[in-house]
Structures are given as C-alpha cells and as structure tokens.
Amino acid sequence: MGGAVSAGEDNDELIDNLKEAQYIRTDLVEQAFRAIDRADYYLEEFKENAYKDLAWKHGNIHLSAPCIYSEVMEALDLQPGLSFLNLGSGTGYLSSMVGLILGPFGVNHGVELHSDVTEYAKQKLDVFIRTSDSFDKFDFCEPSFVTGNCLEIAPDCCQYDRVYCGAGVQKEHEEYMKNLLKVG
C-alpha cells in the first residue's frame, strides 16, 4: 500500500505532499512528521527511497508507507498523556513520532517479533535523542521496545488508550486484541 502521494525530494516535501493529499490534517501530526526525518530510519544504501510514499522492507526491518502512518496517527486522535502500544513496532519510526505527541506523562511501548529489528529500533532511537535538533523542541515520551510475540502478552498486562497493529489480526485473536484496550 502507499504510492498515493508523489515522491518528495526531502522530508519536508514529502510532508507537504501528504498534507496536500489530506493524509495529514492536524497540526500535531504535521509537527511530529516534520520533527523526524524518515530517511534516518532507513539503511544507508536505501535512503534514496525514503521520501517516496511506499512501504520499505529489508530482511526483517520494515516501514509502512508514510500515507499509512499519517492515517494511523490521525485516526488514533493522539493526545498528551495517553498510553500507546505499537504491535509490530519495526524501526521505531512511528513510535518515535507518537512519543512527540504523548509528552512526558504518556506511555509508549513497542513489541516486535524479531530481536534484530528491536535492536535496530533502539539504535535509531538513541541516534534521534543524541543528534536531532527536534528532540529539544518537544516533551518526549520515549518509546520502550521489547522483543516478543504480541499474541503472548499476559492477559493481566496493563491496558492502553491506543493500540496499533500493523498487521492483520485473524478472527480468532480479535477478542484478545480488544482486551489490550482500555474501556472507553
């Protein structure tokens, strides 16, 4: 999925295109997208594709298309202080953008099946915190990434205000997934 928005030359142009196509509709989501350069979450040899509205996968490392992430962030109606669970958290790009909105009193957890991807996300997060000019402009809810199977989260685990699952959920697991959400 993706490709609905033309490719940009840089992160700002990509976001301008997402806004023009009305994938990004709120200032909060726009600010989060502009604060984190999508290319920073790519492997060096694939960065020329970072500003295309396309999904990217290399081995276990994966990123959804920007139009998908913008639709997700808009639909979740993220607000400061909420709790967020990202199932299949991948590179940590989405979780990091969400953390810019949740602020210091939010909860930001990511579960990823593959340990190499969890380590990749932790490295990308560390680079963002150490080097980004944007980091100092936000009260950040730092994502916490763990390796695991999202279908094996303990049933007595905390519940979340918002849950995103980047993959399809089979019918027999639907109730299990719903139990990860707080009532209301």
The CATH number assigned to the domain holding 91 equals: 3.40.50.150
Among 26-40, 55-69, 124-138, the minimum mean pLDDT is found in 124-138
Q: Tens digit of pLDDT for each residue in 64-96?
A: 999 999 999 999 999 999 999 999 999 999 999
Confidence of residue 45 (pLDDT cuts 50, 70, 90): very high
Whether 30 is in a domain gets the answer: yes
| Of the candidates 165, 31, 182, the residue with the CA atom closest to the CA atom of residue 103 | 31
Annotated catalytic residue 89: no
CA distance 124 to 35: 14
Whether 2 is in a domain gets the answer: no
Does the structure show a pLDDT above 80 at 135? Answer: no
Does the structure show a pLDDT above 80 at 5? Answer: no
User: Which structural domain range is residue 161 located in?
Assistant: 11-180
CA distance 66 to 21: 12
Q: Tens digit of pLDDT for each residue in 101-122?
A: 999 999 999 999 999 999 999 9
- If one counts the domains in the chain, the total is 1
Handedness of CA 51, 89, 177, 170 (dihedral sign): positive
Whether 135 is in a domain gets the answer: yes
Does the structure show a pLDDT above 50 at 183? Answer: yes
Whether 158 is in a domain gets the answer: yes
Whether 4 is in a domain gets the answer: no
Whether 33 is in a domain gets the answer: yes
Selecting among 64, 70, 89, 95, the annotated active-site residue is 64
| Of the candidates 32, 53, 39, the residue with the CA atom closest to the CA atom of residue 11 | 39
CA distance 7 to 9: 7
Whether 6 is in a domain gets the answer: no
Whether 59 is in a domain gets the answer: yes
